Amino acid sequence: MPQIFTSSDAALRERWKLLQPGAAAVKAGHCDLAGFDPGAKPFSGDSKAEDKAHVEALAKELDALQNLFYADRRFRLLVILQGMDAAGKDGTLRGVFSQMTPLGVRSVGWKAPTDVEKSHDYLWRIHQQTPAAGEIVVFNRSHYEDVLVPVVNQWITPEQQAQRYAQINDFERMLRETGTIVVKFMLHISKDEQRQRLQERLDDPAKHWKFDEGDLTVRAQWHGYQQAYAHLLAATHTPWAPWTIVPADSKTHRNLMIATLLREVLRNLDLKYPPGAPALDKIKVK
């Protein structure tokens, strides 16, 4: 398997590394999000207009790479978008993946498990939605909800929490060893930016459908969720499925950064179109 989570561009490679949990954080079991500025724009250019144009160009490039990825069929790609309410998961889907042809690309939005799903282990429903050969699947939320919500609400013990971290790492390692590339983005927004975005949903009747009163309950648990993220980021940042923390107060920067890094991942796979049958050279369409 080639080196995937890197870049041949030294400057880009360094910026990427700085936005991942470091070795010290992994060893300590705690990745302090206070050390990552959600308002930072390390991937931005000189202007917002320039950034938007760059995102559009990257989206078209990703479309071409996705077409090649689908034809190559040696790999599967699972993109995980995780973050607090209003962090921009839907916006990322629109901004980064909208140019891709529907063939071979789909998104899965995860909500609270159904009664049937609860009757199985918590990864049962997740495994069913992982990508097939040549397919790109984007998770809007993910199995990481199972080490966030139950942890913050103290529905599981610390021992069960540690056990789930280990199970998730094993699950993602199995996916990687069987051809699935797992790319994980934690969309990191500030509490004030979340307040503004939730208020926008209340102020705009066209966005009322996006607002849930439960969002306010979760917002009141902000500190608890930041701590839960700090632990899961450190515990599940692995060589086969590393985390990248995306400063996401700026929607344009968020899309620019994710599109840039996804392009690097796909380029690193050295994708190729499969050879055609020799007989095709003799066929003439009349």
Q: What is the pLDDT of residues 73-105, one digit of tens each?
A: 999 999 999 999 999 999 999 999 989 988 899
Does 285 map to a domain? no
| pLDDT tens string 166-188 | 999 999 999 999 999 999 999 99
Whether 283 is in a domain gets the answer no
Note whether residue 282 is domain-resident. Answer: no
Return the pLDDT at 209: 87
Q: Two tokens at 169?
A: 């790492």
Residue 212 has pLDDT above 90, yes or no: no
pLDDT at 1: 52
User: Using CA atoms, how far apart are residues 110 and 113, in angstroms rounded to an integer?
Assistant: 8
Q: Is residue 4 part of a domain?
A: no
**C-alpha to C-alpha distance for 95 and 122, rounded to whole angstroms:** 30
pLDDT class of 276 with cuts at 50, 70, 90: confident
Six-digit token string for 232:
């899961």
- Report residue 58's pLDDT band, with 50, 70 and 90 as the boundaries: very high
Residue 115 in any domain: the answer is yes
**Residue 2's pLDDT is what?**
64
Question: In this structure, are residues 280 and 77 in contact, taking their beta carbons and an 8 Å threshold?
Answer: no
User: Tell me, what DSSP letter sits at residue 156?
Assistant: S
CA angle in degrees (0–180, nearest 5) for 54-267-269: 155
CATH code for position 267: 3.40.50.300
Q: Does residue 239 sit within a domain? A: yes
Place of tokens 């209340």: 202
The model's confidence at residue 211, banded by pLDDT at 50, 70 and 90, is confident
User: What are 108's strand-pairing partners?
Assistant: 139
- Number of domains comprising the chain: 1
Q: Which residue has the higher pLDDT, 186 or 286?
A: 186
Percentage of the chain beyond pLDDT 70 is: 99
The answer to whether residue 171 sits within a structural domain is: yes
Within-domain flag for 182? yes
Domain of 237, in residue numbers: 10-272
